[in-house]
Structure 1
Amino acid sequence: MTDPTVETTPVPGLLIINLPLHGDNRGWFKENWQREKMIKLGLPDFAPVQNNISFNASRGVTRGLHAEPWDKYVALATGRIFGAWVDLRAGDSFGTVYTHELGPETAIFVPRGVANGYQTLQPDTAYSYLVNEHWSAEARSQYTFLNLADETVGIDWPIPLAECELSEADKAHPPLADVQPMAPKRTVIIGGNGQLGRALAAIMPDAEVTDRSTLDLSDPDSLAKFDWRSYDVVINAAAYTAVDTAETHDGRIAAWEVNVTGVGALAEIAREHRLTLVHVSSDYVFDGLLPTHDETEPPSPLGVYGQTKAAGDQLVAGVPRHYILRTSWVIGDGGNFVATMVRLADAGVEPTVVDDQLGRLTSAAELARAIAHLIDTGAEYGVYNVTSDGEPRSWADLATMIFTARGRPADAVTPVSTEAYAAGKQLAPRPRHSTLDLTKIKSTGFVPVDGDRALAELLTAIDHQG
């Protein structure tokens, strides 16, 4: 069998597919849609969920121009059409026109927001199309329309429109000058009130930022009621992070409810709506026995928090379009280790700090920058380690650096072992080595900031706030 071929058009994302017809004395056969072959040729894996057929009994039936809020793949079973497509998406290509005659040997992929219209050139034309959303009256309200006869578009219909069969609705569509462009799908951030959520909002001004009143991972109804159709990326910056409380009965339930059950529901939503799911994980998925952890290391969590994060990672990994960012020791705008040490240093306290847990700080701004980088560059989906770069430090090292930066002597910080620090306390087990290998994220072109520099910048920001 001859394989199909794909051609680009002046409209971004609008693709012509040449379909070989294999004929004999009985008629012909074609592979109308062959996912594996067509994805290799450059068609998006658009995951169709509905097949529609428009049968047109007469020559000259003309329909359109309709820009729909989903992608579609159009092909003919019988007959021929003159097709016209106009880009009605917001952006530089708005108003770009493309026309092409289609028969059974040709198909076209029409991306969301590109208006589609056609005129039948033969009677008994069967126009078939796959779409990746279920049609509904509510969905139709999101269409964008353009008048078939608009002179500024200048479509040269083979049969004059005055001689064609048109619906009254199509005759009433607006000219291009009055069309409101279809906005692109957006990014939604879950957990917008946290350190990472605020950092993401700062660099993604067009994103929808939600808090628990809008999207609550612990509430299935909250997720089910949210209208996901206007989004293509969801960033999960929410999590249960009370590491020590997670070891209690109530904390264990809450941690699993948010980090596993809620994440699982979100993963299912991402699959259903073809969303890219960005999920933030933790060094706590490892037991810390190895000095450095890369993305291929199997999970080996020590405590409940780490177990729930590892379980959530596995659920997200089943989403076709996913980024899992494993990170450690996050600092940012809000309560964190650095802010605590600054407060203690300024208050004259002399703390004891663990010196046998090693890792790297990660500023929330740096983590947000990495997320934006992966999305914007279209990096390969999968798991990425993201922290600051540079030499690993212990918590005691970091505390000492903070104290000296605040004008306190280095010996104001007393280094202690994990066992000594935990004596008499109900603490969750923690990995001794939290250093994450950064080779993979660097291979995408991302350059992590040095950890000592990130700490200095945060201390400067704290000074400015004070």
Structure 2
Amino acid sequence: MVEAMQLRVQDTAISGLKLVSMPVHRDTRGWFKENWQREKMVAAGLPDFHPVQNNVAFNEQRGTTRGFHAEPWDKYISVLSGEIFGAWVDVRPGPDFGAVFTAKVSQGEAVFVPRGVANAYQTLRDETVYSYLVTEHWSEASLGQYSYVNLADPQLQIPWPIALDEAVLSQADREHPPLASAKPVLPKKIAVLGATGQLGRALARLADDDQRISVLSRQDVDLSDPDFARDLFFSDYSHIVNAAAMTAVDRAESAEGRREAWKVNATAVRELARLAHQHGVQLVHVSTDYVFDGSSTEVDEDHPLSPISVYGQSKAAGEQAVLAFAEHYVVRTSWVIGQGNNFVSTMRRLAQQGIAPEVVDDQFGRLTFASELARCIMHLIGSASAPGIYHMQGMSEPMSWYDVARQVFSMSGYDPDSVQPVTTEQYQRGKPLMAPRPANSTFNTNKLRATGFIEQPFQDLLKEFLSGVPVR
């Protein structure tokens, strides 16, 4: 056999629309091609789009014309016999709405069509066989998300090889609206689990400017319920951010708390990661400094796991379940400060009440503001950064909890010397069921910075936070 050309994937005038040129092996018997070869084509530049259905359309006559149809899924089109003139129009909201790309496609070409790009074609030969892989199963419910554009819209200026008044069209395709009246196809949503947590609330605030973000409460998705995914419609989402967890560190040391921690932080996370992978949804799982024992002054993403508490053990197990699937993210963080109960708001309240608190001075780390953590997660999603583990903390020198408390008192207008330093051992003395804490919770964040994420200055964020924290 003789190979006609090498496999090649090219970008087009429409973002995400890819033109594929592939080898076609011909001899006296006919020809052979690898129409879809996941490993080679992903390596060449196609997205790993997880098709679930293959459809074939037989077009008896030259001039048969179909489209423009934009479905709420990705598809990969190719020609098995004959030749087509293909045309595509971007109907996703944004500055590229209405962008057009055309190409002739025969056995040696294919086109990857992303969700929200309207697809049309005209056959150039009799008995043309047109094939397409899709990433979702068709359903009646999906019809409401379709968008259509008229094939003859003069705004598009499509150079149809065969005039449309001489072509074979369905009546429905003749009556589709012009581009100016077409319904934009909205992008898939980003589900956020854990609506009432500090990170969930920070992501909810970003939803004001990013309509993809859909924050789900425990009533929507309860990870403590073995059937938590029954109402989680994965096909609606491109990403799931798991900001839900059992975080009662001390209670996790009890028999009941241990069971709850493992159920929510490990068992449910394993199932969530599996289902996300099955449906082609990328999971962003939020983890913690408690997966380390705190014996090292600074740790990077490759540092061995060594949890010393039940909470840390359950979170470490959840991480491993997520990382079993190569497309998912784990974002480790620590000392999160946001809307809700947290150390900074507690110290400010104690200062206002005239209380001189005892605060441990032998646990070191950095504060992470929930707003920054939310911004980091959306950066990883938006920049299509490589999956895997990322460390995220605030930008400051490592501090003890005692140092943080003094800064909170001082910035709030109170005497920082009111804060009394104690060791962890002294603080825990006489308190039953206290989980061991890592002595050091300082992360190396170079990997995250290499993706282009730049943290905001810690002092500015702390001032901003203290100015808006309500008195409780």
| Amino acid of the structure 2 residue aligned with 1:6 | V
| Amino acid of the structure 2 residue aligned with 1:307 | Q
**SS of match in other structure, 1:197:** helix
| Amino acid of the structure 2 residue aligned with 1:446 | F
| Amino acid of the structure 2 residue aligned with 1:354 | V
Q: Give the C-alpha shift of residue 431 in structure 1.
A: 0.8
Q: Distance in 1 between matches of 2:340 and 2:140?
A: 45
| Amino acid of the structure 2 residue aligned with 1:331 | I
Does residue 255 (structure 1) correspond to residue 261 (structure 2)? The answer is yes
Q: Is the CA contact 2:24–2:33 (under 8 Å) kept in the aligned structure 1? A: yes
Q: Give the C-alpha shift of residue 434 in structure 1.
A: 1.1
Does residue 236 (structure 1) correspond to residue 242 (structure 2)? The answer is yes
Q: Distance in 2 between matches of 1:146 and 1:40?
A: 33
Match of 1:71 in 2: 74
Match of 1:461 in 2: 468
Tell me: CA distance 1:457–1:148, structure 2 relative to 1, closer, same or farther (3 Å). Answer: closer
| Amino acid of the structure 1 residue aligned with 2:222 | D
Match of 1:374 in 2: 380
Match of 1:305 in 2: 311
Once the two structures are superposed, the pairs formed by residues 285-364 of structure 1 within 5 Å of their partners are 285-364=291-370
Q: Distance in 2 between matches of 1:225 and 1:200?
A: 21
**SS of match in other structure, 2:159:** coil
Q: Give the C-alpha shift of residue 450 in structure 1.
A: 4.4
Match of 1:441 in 2: 448
Does residue 432 (structure 1) correspond to residue 439 (structure 2)? The answer is yes
| Amino acid of the structure 2 residue aligned with 1:170 | D
Match of 1:125 in 2: 128
Q: Is the CA contact 2:391–2:444 (under 8 Å) kept in the aligned structure 1? A: yes
Bigger mean CA offset, 219-228 vs 100-109 = 219-228
Tell me: CA distance 1:346–1:97, structure 2 relative to 1, closer, same or farther (3 Å). Answer: closer
**SS of match in other structure, 2:31:** strand
Q: Give the C-alpha shift of residue 235 in structure 1.
A: 1.6
Percent of pairs identical after alignment? Answer: 52
Q: Which one of 144, 152, 161 corresponds to residue 158 of structure 1? A: 161
Match of 2:86 in 1: 83
Bigger mean CA offset, 93-102 vs 449-458 = 449-458
Does residue 273 (structure 1) correspond to residue 279 (structure 2)? The answer is yes
Q: Distance in 2 between matches of 1:98 and 1:447?
A: 36
Q: Give the C-alpha shift of residue 453 in structure 1.
A: 4.6
Q: Give the C-alpha shift of residue 7 in structure 1.
A: 3.0
Tell me: CA distance 1:150–1:408, structure 2 relative to 1, closer, same or farther (3 Å). Answer: closer
Q: Give the C-alpha shift of residue 222 in structure 1.
A: 4.3
Tell me: CA distance 1:89–1:459, structure 2 relative to 1, closer, same or farther (3 Å). Answer: closer
Q: Distance in 2 between matches of 1:443 and 1:5?
A: 29
Gaps of 5+ in 2: none
Q: Distance in 2 between matches of 1:458 and 1:9?
A: 45
Q: Give the C-alpha shift of residue 305 in structure 1.
A: 0.7
Q: Is the CA contact 1:63–1:119 (under 8 Å) kept in the aligned structure 2? A: yes
Does residue 42 (structure 1) correspond to residue 26 (structure 2)? The answer is no
Bigger mean CA offset, 137-146 vs 445-454 = 445-454
Q: Is the CA contact 1:220–1:265 (under 8 Å) kept in the aligned structure 2? A: no
Deviations, residues 6-34 of structure 1 (Å, cap 9, x unaligned): 33322222222122222112212222222
Q: Is the CA contact 1:62–1:118 (under 8 Å) kept in the aligned structure 2? A: yes
Tell me: CA distance 1:191–1:119, structure 2 relative to 1, closer, same or farther (3 Å). Answer: same
Tell me: CA distance 1:408–1:79, structure 2 relative to 1, closer, same or farther (3 Å). Answer: closer
Does residue 390 (structure 1) correspond to residue 396 (structure 2)? The answer is yes
Deviations, residues 291-347 of structure 1 (Å, cap 9, x unaligned): 111110121111111111111111222334322211111112221112222222222
- Alpha-carbon RMSD across the aligned residues, in angstroms, is 2.2
Match of 2:147 in 1: 144
Q: Is the CA contact 2:349–2:471 (under 8 Å) kept in the aligned structure 1? A: no
Match of 1:418 in 2: 424
Q: Is the CA contact 2:289–2:333 (under 8 Å) kept in the aligned structure 1? A: yes
Does residue 101 (structure 1) correspond to residue 67 (structure 2)? The answer is no
Tell me: CA distance 1:403–1:120, structure 2 relative to 1, closer, same or farther (3 Å). Answer: closer
Q: Give the C-alpha shift of residue 368 in structure 1.
A: 1.6
Q: Distance in 2 between matches of 1:447 and 1:12?
A: 26
Q: Distance in 2 between matches of 1:444 and 1:99?
A: 34
**SS of match in other structure, 1:141:** helix
TM-score by length of 1: 0.93
Q: Give the C-alpha shift of residue 451 in structure 1.
A: 4.0
Deviations, residues 70-96 of structure 1 (Å, cap 9, x unaligned): 111111111112222222222222222
Match of 1:225 in 2: 231
| Amino acid of the structure 1 residue aligned with 2:90 | D
Size of the aligned set, in residue pairs, is: 465
Q: Distance in 2 between matches of 1:66 and 1:15?
A: 17
Q: Give the C-alpha shift of residue 241 in structure 1.
A: 0.6
Q: Give the C-alpha shift of residue 443 in structure 1.
A: 2.0
Gaps of 5+ in 1: none
Bigger mean CA offset, 27-36 vs 398-407 = 398-407
| Amino acid of the structure 1 residue aligned with 2:382 | D
Tell me: CA distance 1:450–1:145, structure 2 relative to 1, closer, same or farther (3 Å). Answer: closer
Deviations, residues 133-154 of structure 1 (Å, cap 9, x unaligned): 2222332332212222333333
Q: Give the C-alpha shift of residue 57 in structure 1.
A: 2.5
Q: Distance in 1 between matches of 2:114 and 2:67?
A: 15
Q: Give the C-alpha shift of residue 67 in structure 1.
A: 0.9
**SS of match in other structure, 1:53:** strand
Q: Is the CA contact 2:326–2:388 (under 8 Å) kept in the aligned structure 1? A: no
Q: Give the C-alpha shift of residue 452 in structure 1.
A: 4.7
Q: Give the C-alpha shift of residue 415 in structure 1.
A: 2.1
| Amino acid of the structure 1 residue aligned with 2:400 | S
Q: Is the CA contact 2:361–2:402 (under 8 Å) kept in the aligned structure 1? A: yes
Tell me: CA distance 1:450–1:10, structure 2 relative to 1, closer, same or farther (3 Å). Answer: closer
Q: Distance in 1 between matches of 2:103 and 2:420?
A: 76
Q: Give the C-alpha shift of residue 409 in structure 1.
A: 4.2
Q: Distance in 1 between matches of 2:240 and 2:381?
A: 11
Q: Which one of 204, 209, 216 corresponds to residue 222 of structure 2? A: 216
| Amino acid of the structure 1 residue aligned with 2:448 | I
Q: Distance in 2 between matches of 1:96 and 1:153?
A: 8
